[in-house]
Amino acid sequence: MIENETRVNILLVDDEPANLLALEAVLESLGQNLVKTSSGVEALRHLIDKDFAVILLDVMMPGMDGFETAELIRQRDRNRHTPIIFLTAIGKTETAMFQGYALGAIDYMVKPFDPGVLRSKVSVLVDIYLKTQEVIRLNDELRLENENRKRTEEELRRSEEMLKNLNANLEARVAKRTAAVEESSRQLTRINEELEQFVYASSHDLQEPLRTMTSFLELIERRNRDKLDEDSKRFIEFAVKSAEHMRSLINGLLEYSRVTVKEKKFKNVDCNLVVKRVLEQLYASLQESGGKVECLPLPEVYGEPLLLGQLFQNLIGNALKFRNELPPRVEVGAEKREREWLFWVKDNGIGIEPRFFQQIFRLFQRLHSRAEYPGAGLGLAVCRKTVELHGGKIWCESELEKGSSFYFTIPIYDPFSRLADEESNLETVPESKKSEKRV
């Protein structure tokens, strides 16, 4: 049994109800939907809203005969190719047959016809109709798929276009930003240089009047030694001490402002030798405090020897200075990391509260009075500037009363990246300045 949805329509047109019944009896076993009509007009009405796989059309009908009906059927686009089998009771004349074929009949059967032959002809036409429908359906699907693919391709193209635009936009913005950052960095460098120049010049200029002040105070004191009372002598002494302190501050500032690569030369520096020299300079302090410095093997780094010497001197000097009642024990060491050397200077001194870990690296920041521990509060600021100049970082870890550990890093020298850096720098330096290029 054929399923309902695959049943196709077959139109039977005959003015004789008996003939229609006979046709129905013959074709019933095909299991299709048989639509019976008794006139050409009625047949045309059915064709308006239904598709038919085949039309069986009686030629001799009152009113509109089969040929006229076929002519009108063929005029409709939808039925231009619907197969028509003419049925006639009259003797087959060639003229009538030609008329039928001219109207697009695919067959011409004379009554009484062989039911088996008619059934198999109709069955073949139903098959062809079903296959044609399938081809149309597949065609539609293909067309739809094609349209979908084209739409997807179009969307893809549009997205790519959008992405390209976005990328171009982004690149332009990044370039603009980079240019702005470079400009600010240039300005910052210039301002920094001016500031350093100012600090250097003013520190230098301040020393002269200070020296004069001290000399005159000493002169007053010397000339009037007998005339001055004890208070006046003490006041002069305070004034001289303050001037000395001021000189040490100014010297510290000068030292700080000298931490720059401007005239310095970077080279490979053996840190073992640097620390050895520092310890020689700290000999008196070591003797006086009964301190010991253990220096583990240190690496060679790419840096400025004098600045590195100052760095170790400040850190080891502090480790000896900020001691408690125990004789100071200091360890200097280093270990290799992926791209840098990590150095440390550890002591067993008074320690530092965590809230001061950042503050102590700023200019003039001290946690104690000069009476407790002498100093100007510049040593660690100089250390930070030196380390940053070498491309590293410096920080402190400590626990009050348990000692402090100062760490700093120095990048491992990579001649290739340095070369690349220098080349890219050279490109931005005007020809006239290239000879002044520093390391």
Q: Which residues bind ligand ADP (CB under 6 A)?
A: 314, 318-319, 322, 347, 349-350, 352, 360, 365-368, 375-381, 404
Residue 315, CA distances (Å) to 181, 285, 289 in order: 35, 13, 16
Strands 84-88 and 105-110, sheet pairing: parallel
Closer residue to ligand ADP in complex, CB, 384/390: 384
What is the smallest separation between the CB atom of 215 and ligand ADP, expressed in angstroms?
A: 26
CA distance 185 to 193: 12
**Closer of 10 and 307 to ligand ADP (Cβ):** 307
Task: Report in angstroms how near the CB of residue 252 gets to ligand ADP at its nearest.
Answer: 8
Asked if 381 contacts 315 with a C-beta cutoff of 8 angstroms, the reply is: no
* 303 and 269 Cβ atoms separated by less than 8 Å: yes
Q: Minimal CB distance to ligand ADP: which residue?
A: 375
Residue 150, burial from CB neighbour count under 10 angstroms (0-12, 13-18, 19+): exposed
- CB–CB of 39/13 below 8 Å? yes
Query: Closer to ligand ADP at the Cβ: 171 or 401?
Result: 401
Least distance to ligand ADP, CB of residue 274, Å:
18
**Toward ligand ADP, which CB reaches closer, 96 or 378?**
378
C-beta of 389: minimal distance to ligand ADP in Å? Answer: 17
CA–CA gap between residue 290 and residue 252 (Å, rounded): 27
Please state the length of the chain: 439
Q: Minimum CB separation from ligand ADP for residue 330, in Å? A: 9
DSSP H/E element including 289:
helix 283-289
Rank residues 213 and 249 by Cβ distance to ligand ADP and give the closer one.
Answer: 249
Considering the complex, what minimum distance in angstroms separates the CB of residue 363 from ligand ADP? 8
Strand partners, 336: 341
The token duo for 89 is 């009771």
Task: State the minimum distance, in angstroms, from the CB of residue 199 to ligand ADP.
Answer: 17
Q: Which is nearer to ligand ADP, 30 or 350 (CB)?
A: 350
Find the shortest distance in angstroms from Cβ 264 to ligand ADP.
Answer: 21
Would you state the structure tokens that stand for residue 299, as one six-digit string? 């690496």
Q: How far is the CB of 374 from ligand ADP (least distance, A)?
A: 7
CB–CB of 342/407 below 8 Å?
yes
Cβ within 8 Å of residue 114, ≥6 positions away: none
Give CA–CA dist 110/108, Å, rounded. Answer: 7
Q: Given the complex with ligand ADP, which of 11 and 316 has the nearer CB atom? A: 316
Which is it for strands 84-88 and 54-58: parallel, antiparallel or unpaired?
Answer: parallel
Instruction: Please state the closest distance from residue 401 (CB atom) to ligand ADP, in A.
Output: 10
Alpha-carbon distances of 155 from 142, 145, 147, 152, 160, rounded to whole Å: 20, 15, 12, 5, 8
CB burial of residue 428 (10 Å; 0-12, 13-18, 19+): exposed
Kind and range of the H or E run holding 96: helix 94-102
Instruction: Tell me whether residue 123 or residue 324 sits nearer to ligand ADP (CB atom).
Output: 324
Pull the structure tokens for residue 415: 């001649």
The answer to whether the beta carbons of residues 132 and 111 sit under 8 Å apart is no
- The answer to whether 289 touches 328, Cβ cutoff 8 Å, is yes
Q: Which is nearer to ligand ADP, 115 or 333 (CB)?
A: 333
* Beta-bridge partners for 404: 398
Q: Which is nearer to ligand ADP, 57 or 381 (CB)?
A: 381
Cβ at position 382, least distance to ligand ADP in Å: 8
- Our CB check for ligand ADP shows the closer of 40 and 309 to be 309
